[in-house]
Structure 1
């Protein structure tokens, strides 16, 4: 890195003005994830469906011309539940067991200097100013700043690498439903689709790294308006309940 070529802080400030940049969302995500706990660490790890509801004050149908021929899109969005004031130069990635520090700019941690995220999702349909997507990794209500087409010839880099990820564990848990939880799920018309999505999500083991030794501890995540309770026994994750969720009741994620 050539430090001499890097712009100084006053020079950077001069390009944006004293008040910095200001962006207004163009859309809001409507997803089954009621809170951040349980959301896959990146898009496309589970076939979770969501809606991207575009703001008609900012976006018109004309803006979507040609999008019907696009299979995947990038969503640029805001970590609206993270406080930039809590950003640190280094973070402890869960995939390294939560014990090793890595520079924040070498990770996708939500605790960033500017809380901006990006996700590549499958575009499965367009209905007016609503985009239906699959492979979502965003909480319900997430603000979207921009949408761009995923262009494989430009966005895919075959020889890319992230060295600190090379030896991380990619194994998945076996997900098992108790008869009681399956009975609660079975009352819904979308039961099979929800079961498939939850199986894929929970197989990724959403527990915090520092809790993975607590074999008897129970957890809960909010999904599709229900409280999904589970515990882990060795390499099995056991779903024990699929209860109605009450917003005033905190879930157990940490």
Structure 2
């Protein structure tokens, strides 16, 4: 059977490319997004939502639709070498490319359009949203549940900034976003090339960094905005 699903909102995110996005929600607390509802949704559609701390956001992995999907995938948590079934992972390469993220609800602006602001996001800019639901702790929090091959949070990298970088031109939020994102080690699980320079676009900046062992060094930051 086939069903028609229409998007209800679009995400405005500091992550402008897939590389560098946290692999799970909540890992980068400084990753703040705005979910902008379509014009047909008024303040009535979010009445009462402000009383919840977290929301479930159902969305489409629009950035990988053209890459297809496979029944077996290689999760980063397994080193990118072992295969497991796609339905036992959160891989974006799924039959219907649907995603689900639990985000911290920060505030709601009931203007035209209605805007929902969240933190701890793992969403690409312009992500289409298909549904929003409140998180209910007593029904959905199962801290003692078996988690398969996912054993706790991934180990984070120690992030340092090269001495020549002028961090004062960045806001504290931008500094935290960059550091927290790189700390998640965005490299493919099988890749370990100490001399390689990685490039990540976050918000209005292009960040260049290297990773050696358990340490990442930010070596350059270039503004993507024209001064003209």
TM-score, with structure 2 as normaliser: 0.92
C-alpha distance after superposition, 1:115-136 (max 9, x if no partner): 1000000111011200110101
Q: Look up the match of 1:118.
A: 100
Q: 1:49 aligns with which of 32, 36, 40?
A: 32
Q: State how far apart, in whole Å, the 2-side matches of 1:233 and 1:245 are.
A: 27
Are residues 85 and 175 of structure 1, via their aligned partners in 2, closer, same or farther at CA, if it must alter by over 3 Å?
Answer: closer
The structure, 1 or 2, with the larger RCO (C-alpha pairs under 8 Å, 6+ apart) is: 2
Are residues 178 and 153 of structure 1, via their aligned partners in 2, closer, same or farther at CA, if it must alter by over 3 Å?
Answer: same
Does residue 1:144 correspond to 2:129, yes or no?
A: yes
Q: State how far apart, in whole Å, the 1-side matches of 2:85 and 2:201 are.
A: 31
Structure 2 segments unaligned to the other structure (5+ residues):
none
Query: Is the 1:84–1:111 Cα contact (8 Å) retained in structure 2?
Result: no
Does residue 1:161 correspond to 2:146, yes or no?
A: yes
Q: State how far apart, in whole Å, the 2-side matches of 1:234 and 1:71 are.
A: 37
SS at match of 1:179: coil
Are residues 169 and 142 of structure 1, via their aligned partners in 2, closer, same or farther at CA, if it must alter by over 3 Å?
Answer: closer
Equivalent residue pairs, number: 221
How do 1:197-236 and structure 2 match up within 5 A?
197-212=177-192, 214-236=193-215
C-alpha distance after superposition, 1:181-214 (max 9, x if no partner): 3x1x4224xx2111112221111111111212x1
How do 1:47-196 and structure 2 match up within 5 A?
47=29, 48-57=31-40, 59-83=41-65, 86-128=68-110, 129-166=114-151, 170-181=154-165, 183=166, 185-188=167-170, 191-196=171-176
TM-score, with structure 1 as normaliser: 0.83
Q: State how far apart, in whole Å, the 2-side matches of 1:222 and 1:107 are.
A: 26
Q: State how far apart, in whole Å, the 1-side matches of 2:46 and 2:153 are.
A: 40
Instruction: Quote the offset at 1:162 in angstroms.
Output: 2.3
Are residues 180 and 171 of structure 1, via their aligned partners in 2, closer, same or farther at CA, if it must alter by over 3 Å?
Answer: same
Query: Is the 1:84–1:115 Cα contact (8 Å) retained in structure 2?
Result: no
Q: Could you say which structure has the larger radius of gyration? A: 1
Instruction: Quote the offset at 1:63 in angstroms.
Output: 0.8
RMSD: 1.6
SS at match of 2:175: helix
How do 1:15-34 and structure 2 match up within 5 A?
20-34=2-16
Query: Is the 1:84–1:114 Cα contact (8 Å) retained in structure 2?
Result: no
